Structure 1
Amino acid sequence: MRRYSHWRRILAGGVLLLAVHAGWIQADELDKTKALYKRPSSIPFPVQNPYTPEKAALGKMLFFDPRFSRDQNLNCASCHNPSFGWEVPFAKAIGAAGAPLRRQSPTVLNRAWASHMFWDGRASSLEEQAKGPIESKAEMDIKLGDVVKRLSAVGDYRKAFNTAFPGEGITENNILKAIGTYERTLVSGTTPFDRWVEGNDSAISTSAKRGFVLFNGKARCNLCHSGWNFTDEKFHDIGTADDLDKGRFEITGKQEDLYAMKTPTLREVAHRSPYGHDGSLTTLDVVVQHYIQGGAPRPSRSPLMQPVPLTNEDVKDLVEFMKTLSSDSAAIAMPNLPVPQ
């Protein structure tokens, strides 16, 4: 412990030699690790739904339009609010008739790189994901066919669809394509961590740098929160107290998926409390404490969930690092929604 503390003091003095539980990280090894988290230079769009600015602009209008709910009181942003990391600051999202849903709403940020949507991965594309909440009785509670009728009564929407989808117009499929296109453009902003990865050594604090080493070393966070988006896009039972929600098991019926939920991105995590599929982890400190303890023991708990002996200072450093994964809040210009004429 004295040797570990000694090297922490050296790090504070600016020497690029970082201590972890298994040895030392030299400057070249640190650079290799940082490179694993470098942001991509472009957004991937599927061949079957390529990007066009007209389609994205239309999708943005649809995303914020309450005509997509039975009572015209909810839109996609009701659960995915840009002011809160494209989530909502509640343990559970609110659906039709003001009733809470069974899970916390996941962020829609960086979903262009995702292979599965929802906590349980039941949708394999953003187009499929968009349809789910619209037609869910508990959420927006309206059939897409009825949405088509509503939008078809609006002249400006007819024009917008004909521009985005020449010769096709307003169809259920085109509605989902437009929303999916817009959602793929929702990418987290450049963060202090990104600037550090790009070479600005003063972009994050010494505490956050120690946290990065812990994240990729003794704390073992990178085993699930990997890559530039800080998620392996896999499903794990992390031992939360909720034993009623069976997670991905409800989709696959496989025992290995019992209580398993998709690893969430850590991008914009400082803006997205509370945490966990059930919103039971109220702060980042509570999240780290949950992992230190290893979660509730049960047969399905991921073997990656092991108690981790971290000090209070380690916890502080990890939280400081995770805060560097959030960008400055940026105002989102709301679209002008067409009205019937």
Structure 2
Amino acid sequence: MRLWVSLTLLAAFLPVGLSFALNTAKAPDDAATVRASYRRPAAVPFPKSNPHSEAKSVLGAMLFFDPLLSRSKTLSCSSCHNPSLSWADGLPRAIGEDPNGLPIRAPTLIDVAFFEPLGWDGKFSDLESVAFGPILSPANMNMTEPELIARLAAIPGYVDAFSKAFGDGAITRPRIEASLATFERSIVAAESPFDRWINGDESAISASAQHGFQLFNGKARCAACHSGPSFSDGSFQDIGTARGNDVGRGRFFPKSTKLRYAFKTPTLRDVARRAPYMHDGSVATLEEVIELYNKGGIDRPSRSPDIKPLALTAAEKHDLIAFLQTLTATPPPFAVPALPR
């Protein structure tokens, strides 16, 4: 069960312009209904087991930006999820303490409150369970739980912050997880030209982009998975690109034909600023993304039924790109918190 907290309570860490809603049913023959399905409410969902508090969010922000969470004291969560890079890192593959890097991209954290399970393959059941995955990974932050807790407990400022957030200064893994998750749920997309358009400003996006929106919800079939205000239904799909042992969600469901090569449908918020694309960073530009979907990917039993050749014209591809660009907002200012030492 989730509780909903007004975004105004999160103002200390929210970018200007707030964007969230639950996916709602769309009527393809009703343009107004389609547009309305992409509008955002002014609240973020928090689980009953970890309700929002400002003190937890403040503590979570400090932990998120603190390189003490890595063994070398050089990497923080923000190394892969940089607010100035739309809460990602702009790299084809994430790089941690192992210089060889990781096999997948660092996903953006924009609108992450709405997409459980998490991870490209869905291995994390909720946001609370994510944090210690990268923290303990030898290839990523290469830390141990006891050492991290000892480091934080040796800093009076952290003891005080945990006390404010939880009533006493005890530093534990569940409290670290709860604090990081509380902060991360406050990471929302800033208002984009598309948002202004669906809220009534008819001049906010071009005629080309408006036609691209029609294609997005129609011939191009994008909205079959990239639906709702965050432009993702949170599903796992084989779009016909992964090969070999890169089986995604199929790793957890080896008997499922449909989940082999299936990866999480990412949000399209800020998509024009988040190249390269796909879980492995294998597609360099939006133009190449459109062409990939236009061709339909590898035809195989696991491929999503919504992935098939589209026969898009050059003009239609242009209009789709124009629309996707309207989902990118002006980067809002973000103040990195002072870290206790």
Structure 1 residue 90: Cα displacement: 1.1
Q: What is the letter of the counterpart of residue 192 of structure 1?
A: P
Conservation of the 8 A alpha-carbon contact between 1:242 and 1:278: no
Asked if 1:236 is matched to 2:254, the reply is no
Give 1:330's aligned residue: 332
Q: What's the offset of the Cα at 1:184?
A: 0.1
Distance in structure 1 (CA, Å) of the matches to 2:130 and 2:260: 22
Check whether the contact 1:81–1:88 (CA below 8 A) recurs between aligned residues. Answer: yes
Q: Which moves more between the two structures, 153-162 or 135-144?
A: 135-144
The Cα of 1:110 is off from its aligned counterpart by: 0.6
CA contact (8 A) 1:192 1:326 kept: yes
Opposite residue 178 of structure 1, the aligned amino acid is S
Give aligned pairs, total.
Answer: 314
Aligned residue for 2:10? none
Residue 254 of structure 1, CA deviation: 3.2
Counterparts of 1:121-270 in structure 2, within 5 Å, are 121-167=122-168, 169-255=170-256, 256-270=258-272
Tell me how large the CA RMSD over aligned residues is. Answer: 1.5
User: Which is helix-richer, 1 or 2?
Assistant: 1
Partners of 2:62 and 2:96 in 1: CA distance: 20
The Cα offsets for residues 173-197 of structure 1, whole Å up to 9 and x where unpaired, read as 1011000000000001111111111
- Structure 1 residue 242: deviation in Å? 3.8
In 2, are the aligned partners of 1:145 and 1:172 still within 8 Å (CA)? Answer: no
Partner of 1:13: none
Distance 1:307 1:144 in 2: 48
| Cα separation, 1, equivalents of 2:82 and 2:244 | 28
Q: What's 2:318 paired with?
A: 316
Question: How far apart in 1 are the matches of 2:106 and 2:128?
Answer: 17
Report if aligned partners of 1:116, 1:125 keep a CA contact under 8 Å in 2.
Answer: yes
Normalised to the residue count of structure 2, the TM-score between the two structures is 0.89
Corresponding residue SS for 1:45: strand
Name 1:54's counterpart in structure 2: 55
Q: Is 2:50 the counterpart of 1:30?
A: no
Aligned counterpart, 1:81: 82
| Structure 1 residue ranges without an equivalent (≥5) | 1-25
- State the Cα distance separating 1:241 from its structure 2 match: 4.8
Cross-structure match for 2:277: 275
The CA deviation at 1:298 is 2.3
- Rounded to whole Å, the distance in 1 between the matches of 2:209 and 2:60 is 37
| Offset, 1:252 | 2.5
Structure 2: tracts of 5 or more residues without a match: 1-26
**In the alignment, what sits opposite 2:303?**
301
Q: What CA distance in whole angstroms lies between the structure 2 residues aligned with 1:242 and 1:100?
A: 19
Paired residues of 1:275 and 1:287 also in contact (CA < 8 A)? yes
In structure 2, relative to structure 1, the CA distance for the partners of 1:242 and 1:333 (3 Å cut) is farther
Match of 1:18 in 2: none
**CA distance change for structure 1 residues 77 and 258 in 2, over 3 Å: closer, same or farther?**
same
Residue type at the aligned position of 1:332: F
Q: Percent of pairs identical after alignment?
A: 46
Post-superposition shift, 1:253?
Answer: 2.1
> In the alignment, residue 261 of structure 1 is paired with which amino acid?
F
Change (3 A) 1:157 1:310: same
Moved more, 200-209 or 167-176: 167-176
Runs of 4 or more, structure 1, over 6 Å off, are: none
How far residue 243 of structure 1 moved from its aligned partner, in angstroms, is 3.0
TM-score, with length taken from structure 1 = 0.89
**Displacement of 1:88:** 1.1
Larger mean CA deviation between 184-193 and 129-138 belongs to 129-138
Counterpart residue identity of residue 330, structure 1: P
